[in-house]
Amino acid sequence: MSPAARHTDRTEDSDRPTKRARVVDEDGEEDSEDEILPSKVRGEPQKASDLYLDTINRAVLDFDFEKVCSVSLSNINIYGCLVCGKYFQGRGRSSYAFAHAIHDDHHVFINLETTKVYVLPDGYLVSDPSLEDISFVLSPTFTSTSVSTLSTAVHLRKPSYDLSNKPYIPGYIGLNNIKRNDYMNVVIHSLLHVAPLRDYLLLSNFRGKESELLKRFAGLAKKIWNPRLFKSQVSPHEFLQEVNRASVGKYSLEKQGDPVDFLGWLLNRLHKDLGGTKKKNSSVIFSTFQGEVRMETQQVLVRPDTGGNEKPRFDIDREIKSSASPFLFLAVDLPPPPLFQDAVEKNIIPQESSGQVRRFKCQRLPRYIILHFKRFTKNMFVEEKNPTIVNFPLRGLDFKDYLDAPASHPSAVYDLIANVTHESAAGTTRDKESTVWKVHLRAGTGGGDTERWFQIQDLIVEEIRKEMIFLGETILQIWERRPDAPPRLRPAE
Ligand SMILES: [Zn+2]
């Protein structure tokens, strides 16, 4: 790009010399990024801009995809054409957006970073209240008041309406399955319904050196909970592209994967990106999901002189070693099929491995407990699936029997908020190609009529009866600690 590509209209330079800044992009493209006065100040172009604003087509606007120029594929300084929805780089005379304005007669462009709207090729800034809904779809904002009711029955009573007047409940909307990313969609939905994490992301304003993953996850949270969507569905494409990059291809939208693996990776990655350390509560991830388990280990003695006929014995004289370790989720072993039983009872069982007996007991339960039901076991040739139905209450699951903590520990009573199930056409083996992942999400709270449940499988969102939640093969659940009863008034000290 040559320096001659600057605006030739230089009459204003003498008036406002300090406002005109010459910006050369990293890729060498020069773009005149002068702060242009709003059209009403200029007077004359006002009419033209009104005319141009009528050409905006909201139905084609979709800001879910990666913000790259449709011509140069660059991601620097990108504008969206509000007439056809395409993305173009720059707005200077030699830019692709400028060329598009001339060749296709499309004149209104939004800067995807700043949400400022410009008319090209004239090059002036438009600020018009009628554009506010577009900048809100591109970059939704929330306040502590607006997030405070998202998990309550109030939220359920006020549906939103998309451009085609279709009602939807923000937060309970479909996510595109671009190729095979349904295993990630269920994790995204589950995490973004955990109030402390959700609210943290909705109220965030990451514009600095935060990781791209964090920025895009927050962006996705804001879209999923956006009460003013044009289309009542969201594509997780932008976030998943970054997941693919950050995980060096391990979690890709091209191939089916394991939601539990993905969840573990994502939680650890977000924790790190949020500046979390090994310390308790050092990120919103730890303060929400991290608990502590105590493990007791005892060596098993095997006598060498029994010719291998005798079973290993516990050596009662050996010391029991106790160690505490933090966890982000608890794994639940399922009983061998076809036993039908409460799976959580299986949580704290002795496990024998490599000459040791271990016992686990929770020392500290987090505000949100993630349970992983270990349904798949690897065998010589195939991954086998345990089809055991897990029976659980939706509300009031008491973890106190698995807790060994001082009386000051908060309530151990939990209510279910998210449930991920697996379906496979291929019986008891794990056929990744014909796998279907679904998530059940609680809306509202408190049981009864103030609480409803939605099942989401990619773009299909349906309200379901509570008893249907038990029928799927549960893989993953998130439980929310029920708040302690309000403290009684204490006598004045
Ligand atoms: Zn266009």
Asked if the model's pLDDT at residue 9 lies above 50, the reply is no
Provide the pLDDT for residue 300.
61
Cis peptide before 17 (omega within 30 of 0): no
Residue 96 CA, ligand 1 centroid: distance in Å? 11
Of the CATH numbers 3.40.50.920, 3.90.70.10, 3.40.1000.10, 3.40.50.970, which one belongs to the domain with range 140-292+330-350+364-484? 3.90.70.10
Range of lowest pLDDT (141-155, 347-361, 474-488): 347-361
Report the separation in Å between the CA atom of 86 and the middle of ligand 1, taken as the mean of its atom positions.
6
pLDDT at 2 over 60: no
Using the mean position of ligand 1's atoms as its centre, give its distance from the Cα of residue 115 in Å: 17
* Residue 355 CA to ligand 1 centre (angstroms): 68
pLDDT band at 348 (very low <50, low <70, confident <90, very high): very low
The pLDDT confidence band at residue 48, using thresholds 50, 70 and 90, is low
Residue 87 binned pLDDT confidence (cut-offs 50, 70, 90):
very high
Assign 244 a pLDDT band (cuts: 50, 70, 90): very high
> What pTM, to 2 d.p., does this model score?
0.81
Between the CA of 113 and the centroid of ligand 1 the distance, in Å, is: 18
Q: Residue 13 has what pLDDT?
A: 36
Query: What mean pLDDT is reported for the chain?
Result: 82
Q: At 354, is the pLDDT very low, low, confident or very high (cuts 50, 70, 90)?
A: very low
pLDDT tens sequence across 438-480: 999 999 998 888 999 999 999 999 999 998 887 888 899 999 9
pLDDT of 173 reads: 97
For residue 353, the surrounding DSSP H or E stretch is: strand 351-353
Alpha-carbon gap, residue 141 to 232, rounded angstroms: 17
pLDDT at 7 over 60: no
User: How many angstroms is it from 97 CA to the middle of ligand 1?
Assistant: 8
| Residue 161: per-residue pLDDT | 97
Q: Residue 91 carries which side chain, given as an amino acid letter?
A: R
Comparing CA positions, the residue from 483, 478, 482 lying closest to residue 197 is 478
Question: Is the pLDDT at 180 greater than 60, yes or no?
Answer: yes
How many other C-beta atoms are found inside a 10 Å radius of the C-beta of residue 85? 17
If you measure from the C-alpha of residue 68 to the centroid of ligand 1, how many angstroms do you get, rounded to a whole number? 15
pLDDT at 452: 95
pLDDT of 485 higher than 70: no
Q: Summarize the confidence of residues 245-254 as an average pLDDT.
A: 94
57 C-alpha to center of ligand 1: Å? 10
- The answer on pLDDT for 400 being more than 90 is no
Contacts of 306 (CB under 8 A, 6+ apart): none
Whole-number pLDDT of residue 134: 97
SS3 at position 264: helix
How far apart are alpha carbons 40 and 153 in whole angstroms?
44
- Determine contact, residues 189/443, Cβ cutoff 8 Å: no
Residue 345 has pLDDT above 60, yes or no: no
- 333 pLDDT exceeds 80? no
Q: Is the pLDDT of residue 38 over 70?
A: no
pLDDT class of 23 with cuts at 50, 70, 90: very low
Above pLDDT 90, what percent of the chain? 56
Gap from CA of 284 to ligand 1 centroid (Å): 41
pLDDT of res. 27: 40
Q: Is the pLDDT score of 30 beyond 60?
A: no
Least confident span in 31-40, 108-117, 250-259:
31-40
CB 343 within 8 A of CB 334: yes
Task: Quickly state the pLDDT bin for 324 (edges 50, 70, 90).
Answer: confident
* Cα 49 to middle of ligand 1, angstroms: 16
Q: CB 71: neighbour CB atoms within 10 A?
A: 15
Residue with the larger pLDDT of the pair 306 and 254 = 254
CA of 28 to the centre of ligand 1 (A): 24
The CA 123 to ligand 1 mean position distance, Å, reads 15
Residues 254-265 pLDDT 10s: 888 899 999 999
Please give the average per-residue pLDDT across 419-432, as a whole number.
71
Which has the minimum average pLDDT: 24-38, 63-77, 79-93, 243-257?
A: 24-38
**For the chain, what are the domain ranges?**
3-137, 140-292+330-350+364-484
Under the banding of pLDDT at 50, 70 and 90, the label for residue 84 is very high
Ligand 1 centroid vs 52 CA: distance in angstroms?
12
Distance 125 CA to ligand 1 centre (A): 17
pLDDT of residue 297: 75
Q: If pLDDT is split at 50, 70 and 90, which confidence band does 179 have? A: confident
- How far is residue 447 from each of residues 53, 415, 453, 465, measured CA to CA in Å? 47, 9, 10, 12
Compute CA distances 393 → 318, 365, 367, 416, 419, whole Å: 40, 19, 18, 8, 12
- The stretch 220-232 carries a mean pLDDT of 97
Looking at residue 237, what is its pLDDT? 93
What mean pLDDT is predicted for residues 39-59? 71
Position 382 scores a pLDDT of 62
Residue 187 and residue 189: Cα distance in Å, rounded?
5
pLDDT average, residue stretch 268-276 = 96
Give the distance (Å) from ligand 1 centre to CA of residue 127. Answer: 19
The residues facing 443 across adjacent strands are: 452
Residue 46: band (very low, low, confident or very high) from pLDDT cuts 50, 70, 90:
low
> Which carries the bigger pLDDT value, residue 217 or residue 411?
217
In the reported structure, the alpha carbon of residue 44 is separated from the centroid of ligand 1 by a whole-number distance in angstroms of 24
Which helix (H) or strand (E) segment is 222 a member of?
Answer: helix 212-224
Q: Which of 41-55, 58-72, 238-252, 416-430 has the lowest mean pLDDT?
A: 41-55
Any idea which architecture 3-137 has in CATH? 2-Layer Sandwich (3.30)
pLDDT at 75: 93
Q: Who has greater pLDDT, 4 or 105?
A: 105
